[in-house]
Amino acid sequence: MMRLLRLLLVGGCLYGAWLPGRAFTLLGPPATWMTHQLGYDVSAPLTTYGPMNLGEEYRWNVPILYYAFTSDFLNYFGEYGANEIDKAIAMINNLPPASSLNIDDFPAGSLRINHRAQAAGLTDLKSFALREMLYLLGIGDPTRYVFCIRNRWTPGSCPPILYHVIQRNFDPKTLRHSAYINGDLWTYTTIIDTCTPPPDYAFLAPEPVDPMALLGYRHMPASSYFAAGSINGGFVTTLTRDDVAALQYIYRTNNYNVETIPAGVIGGTNYIFGATNSSPWGVPPYLLTNGYSTNLPWYPGYPWDAPPSLTNVTGTNDVTGTNSFIEPALRSGIDKVLWRRLEYDSVLGNFFTPTTNVYTERVILNGRRVPQTIVRVVEVPDIIFDAADLQGGEATDTVIGTAQVMTDWQNNDAINGLAGQIGPGTMVPSVGTTPAYVLTFNSVGPIWYNQWPNFLSQADAIGPNQFLLWGSFDGTTNAPVVYPVGTSIEAIEAQVLSGR
What is the predicted pLDDT for the residue at 495?
A: 55
Q: What is the 3-state secondary structure (H, E, C) of 133-194?
A: HHHHCCECCHHHHCCEEEEEECCCCCCCCEEEEECCCECCCCCCECCEECCEEEEEEEEEEC
> What is d(CA 287, CA 353) in angstroms, rounded to the nearest whole number?
9
What is the predicted pLDDT for the residue at 290?
A: 31
Q: What does DSSP say about strands 123-124 and 470-472: parallel, antiparallel, or unpaired? A: parallel
What is the predicted pLDDT for the residue at 394?
A: 67
Q: Where are the domains of the chain?
A: 18-260+329-342+381-455+477-498
What is the predicted pLDDT for the residue at 281?
A: 32
> What is d(CA 426, CA 261) in angstroms, rounded to the nearest whole number?
9
Kindly provide the residue ranges of all beta strands, DSSP E only, lying in 366-475, ordered along the sequence: 368-378, 383-388, 402-406, 409-411, 425-427, 437-442, 470-472
Question: Are the C-beta atoms of 365 and 256 separated by less than 8 Å?
Answer: no
What is the predicted pLDDT for the residue at 284?
A: 38
For residue 290, how many C-alpha atoms fall within 13 Å in the half-sphere facing its CB? 3
User: Concatenated DSSP letters for 204-272?
Assistant: EEEEES-GGGGGGGGG--TTSHHHHSSSTTEEE-S--HHHHHHHHHHH-TT--EEEPPPTTEEEESTTT
| Residue 332 φ then ψ, to 5° | -90, 170
Q: What does DSSP say about strands 368-378 and 292-293: parallel, antiparallel, or unpaired? A: unpaired
Residues of the chain predicted below pLDDT 50: 1-19, 269-323, 500
Question: Are the C-beta atoms of 133 and 88 separated by less than 8 Å?
Answer: yes
Cα torsion for 72, 75, 81, 82, to the nearest 10°? 60
Instruction: Identify residue 350 by its one-letter amino acid code.
Output: N
DSSP label at 100?
G
Instruction: Give the number of other Cβ atoms within 10 Å of residue 493's Cβ.
Output: 17
Among 138, 126, 128, 140, residue whose Cα is nearest residue 90: 126
> What is d(CA 178, CA 146) in angstroms, rounded to the nearest whole number?
8
What is the predicted pLDDT for the residue at 355?
A: 76
Q: Which helix (H) or strand (E) holds 351?
A: strand 350-351
pTM value is: 0.81
Instruction: Give the number of other Cβ atoms within 10 Å of residue 97's Cβ.
Output: 16
> What is d(CA 308, CA 300) in angstroms, rounded to the nearest whole number?
7
What is the predicted pLDDT for the residue at 216?
A: 85
What is the predicted pLDDT for the residue at 58?
A: 95
Kindly provide the residue ranges of all beta strands, DSSP E only, lying in 414-458, ordered along the sequence: 425-427, 437-442
What is the predicted pLDDT for the residue at 276?
A: 35
What is the predicted pLDDT for the residue at 302?
A: 34
> What is d(CA 497, CA 495) in angstroms, rounded to the nearest whole number?
6
What is the predicted pLDDT for the residue at 384?
A: 93
What is the predicted pLDDT for the residue at 307?
A: 37
CA pseudo-torsion sign 182, 184, 185, 190: negative
What is each CA distance from 117 to 31, 84, 112, 469, in whole angstroms? Answer: 39, 16, 11, 10
What is the predicted pLDDT for the residue at 433?
A: 80
Kindly provide the residue ranges of all beta strands, DSSP E only, lying in 56-126, ordered along the sequence: 58-59, 64-69, 111-113, 123-124
> What is d(CA 195, CA 71) in angstroms, rounded to the nearest whole number?
46
| Residue 275 φ then ψ, to 5° | -80, 150
What is each CA distance from 149 to 152, 216, 394, in whole angstroms? Answer: 7, 20, 33
Give Cβ neighbours of residue 389 (< 8 Å, ≥ 6 apart): 442, 443, 444
What is the predicted pLDDT for the residue at 241?
A: 94
